[in-house]
């Protein structure tokens, strides 16, 4: 899958890899960079956002109008866990949309 990144590219390979995993789990081909996060749009006001964090972790957040509502962290190398977390966040957001 080719991922189109709108805005600045990720600064680390770990974040780039996490974005690819999330894109596949969400079945999205576009992500946009805003305010230090990479957002996958889910409905008109919601997104799932990823950003690099310390200690080789990726921060995963559900956002409403770009404001974080829930936050979880996933170790960068745990791709299976990343896909699972993103999929569960998607299910939760879809219940609200």
Please state the φ and ψ torsions of residue 38, each to the nearest 5 degrees: -110, 115
- pLDDT recorded at residue 91: 95
Structure tokens at 38: 């990479």
Percent of the chain at pLDDT exceeding 70: 100
What global pTM score does this model have?
Answer: 0.94
pLDDT for 65 beyond 90 = yes
- pLDDT recorded at residue 1: 74
Q: What CATH number is attached to the domain comprising 85?
A: 3.30.160
- Boundaries of domain holding 53: 4-96
Structure tokens at 79: 């791709």
Provide the domain count of the chain: 1
User: What length does the chain have?
Assistant: 97
Per DSSP, helices labelled H in 5-67 are 13-26
Q: In the predicted model, what is the mean pLDDT of residues 74-90?
A: 97
Q: In the predicted model, what is the mean pLDDT of residues 56-76?
A: 96
Neighbours of 43 (CB within 10 A): 11
């Amino acid at each position: 899958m080719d991922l189109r990144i709108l805005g600045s590219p990720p600064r680390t390979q770990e974040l780039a890899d996490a974005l690819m995993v999330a894109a596949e789990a969400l079945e999205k081909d576009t992500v946009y960079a805003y305010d230090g996060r990479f957002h996958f749009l889910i409905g008109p006001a919601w997104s799932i956002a990823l950003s690099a964090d310390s200690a080789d972790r990726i921060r995963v957040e559900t956002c409403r109008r770009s404001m974080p509502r829930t936050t979880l962290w996933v170790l960068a190398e745990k791709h299976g866990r990343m896909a699972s977390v993103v999929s569960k966040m998607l299910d939760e957001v879809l219940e609200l949309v």
